[in-house]
Amino acid sequence: MKPSRLLLLWLAALCAVGLVTGTLQALDFDVPATVLSINWGLLLALLALAIIDALRLRRLPSPRIKRQLPGSLALGRWSDIRLDIEHGFAEPLRIKVFDHVPDGLDMENLPLTVSLQPGKFSQVFYRLRPLKRGHFTFTQCEINLPSPFGLWSGKRLPRVTDHTRVYPDFARLYGGELLAVDNWLSRLGVRQRQRRGQGQEFHQLREFREGDSLRQIDWKATARQRTPIAREYEDERDQQIMFLLDCGRRMRSQDGELSHFDHALNACLLLSYVALRQGDAVGLCTFASEQPRYLAPVKGSSQLKVLLNGVYDIDSSQRSADYAAAVNTLLSRQKRRALVVLMTNLRDEEDEELLGAVQRLSRQHLVVVASLRESLLDKLRLSPAQTLSDALTYCTAIDFLNARSQHHERLRTHGIAILDAAPEKLGQNLVTQYLANKKSGVW
């Protein structure tokens, strides 16, 4: 409970009058006794009224409040939260409401001033934006309730418990379902390459067309129909993709509002959506995390929800990446040949360890190493150097990028596919690589 502005103004006015009269008496000016009596009488009356008003405020019931909170939120996206408020008083009431938002969630339009009418609900809204993934619990709201005479403001903390989960930014995945797959991929900047060879499943027989290869001709069907008949192939289905996701300290680098780990998760979900639409199975395995996760590869659109529920509360750790242990874990669980996408941030000091681990993994699986590159390095490489400090920063960035490129080239010479991408381009580059592998028949 705290005094209102009205009470403070009355106290200030009466104290000012008392100060003036006291000063005049000290200077031997004649002050009427009635002025002093009135001033003291008003002060005592205000004190009594304030005590009565405070007691009445303590007996007032709190307004009822209910929060309308979505069961899931997308990381980094604004959402509207609704508060339904009502009271049982016979007269209108004007209150202030503040929702106690958990750490990790940004907010706008709080606190709220609400005018409540007797017997009616009042609905107010504020905006919420998650800054990190995970499970969040809302426990209470704060209401500043005015006293009947307006001399006090009482703070009430009604318990309003709600729960929500913050998932990776999957909104664009669901938006993509409204478009044709090819159109949706083209909007994302994904390039589809022409397939090479005949590494696809047989689909149907059709008439030979201009541009078809002679190898596609089915000679028995041609003899029966007495016209050239070609075999038509489609991309192989029922293949498997396994994400080997690094949760170590190198994935904690920030690019904008998201860490490399969050960018990697978004890229995994984007490729999972495309692969599941193509009829393939998708799974995930984490390493260097506090609680390692393993999701076996499964087909079907429902697998996307399984992946979302399985990764929404994963976070990066302070541990270093142990590639050998991660590969051993994956080889012990994933027996069938799959496309394994290793999501990490490579450094040259891990050259030998990574090389040995990936070479063992590539004996059984097709491996793609996706290495995230800090966007700041690209900005420094393209920025002009105006001062000595700028020149030193530029040279340092170029030296680091050259060392990084040499590290990648050493891995490529051993037959390891490296995908070096900035975090915001990682998703579409992964989809391009996936489609290229699928159409080329190397999988």
Q: Are residues 279 and 218 in the same domain?
A: no
Domain total in the chain: 4
Same-domain check for residues 161 and 73? yes
Any idea what the CATH number is for the domain that residue 414 is in?
A: 3.40.50.410
Which residue do the tokens 């390459």 mark?
Answer: 193
What whole-number distance in Å separates Cα of residue 147 and Cα of residue 4? Answer: 9
Percent of the chain with pLDDT over 70: 89
Q: Does 408 lie in the same domain as 265?
A: yes
Do 285 and 332 lie in one domain? The reply is yes
In a shared domain, residues 313 and 432: yes
CATH number at residue 80: 2.60.40.10
Beta bridge partners of 234: 201
> Considering only 3-7, 331-335, 418-422, 437-441, which range has the smallest mean pLDDT?
437-441
Amino acid identity, position 245: L
| Paired sense of beta strands 159-167 and 72-74, if any | parallel
Give the range of the structural domain holding residue 50, as residue numbers without chain letter.
2-59
- Let me know whether 35 and 120 are in one domain: no
432 contacts 190 by C-beta, under 8 angstroms: yes
Distance CA 277, CA 299 (A): 9
In the prediction, which pLDDT does 148 show?
Answer: 87
CA-to-CA distance for 2 and 115, rounded, in angstroms?
Answer: 20
| pTM recorded for the entire structure | 0.71
**Statement to judge: residues 138 and 157 lie in one domain:** yes
Q: Do 138 and 220 fall within a single domain? A: no
Co-location of 153 and 262 in the same domain:
no
Residue 99, classed as helix, strand or coil, is: strand
Contact 260/253 with Cβ under 8 angstroms? Answer: yes
Q: What are the pLDDT digits (tens) for 384-438?
A: 888 888 888 888 888 888 888 888 888 888 888 899 888 888 888 888 888 887 7
Please work out, in degrees rounded to the nearest 5, the angle formed at the alpha carbon of residue 142 by the alpha carbons of 139 and 145: 150
Residues 301 and 314 in one domain: yes
More confident position, 377 or 332: 332
- How many whole angstroms separate alpha carbon 119 and alpha carbon 66? 16
User: Are 317 and 418 in a shared domain?
Assistant: yes
Amino acid symbol at 33: A
Judge if 349 and 421 occupy the same domain.
yes
Please report, for residues 261, 294, 364, 423, 424, the alpha-carbon distance to residue 304 in angstroms, rounded to integers and kept in the order given: 18, 14, 26, 21, 21
The pair of three-digit structure tokens given for residue 346, joined into one six-digit string: 């490579």
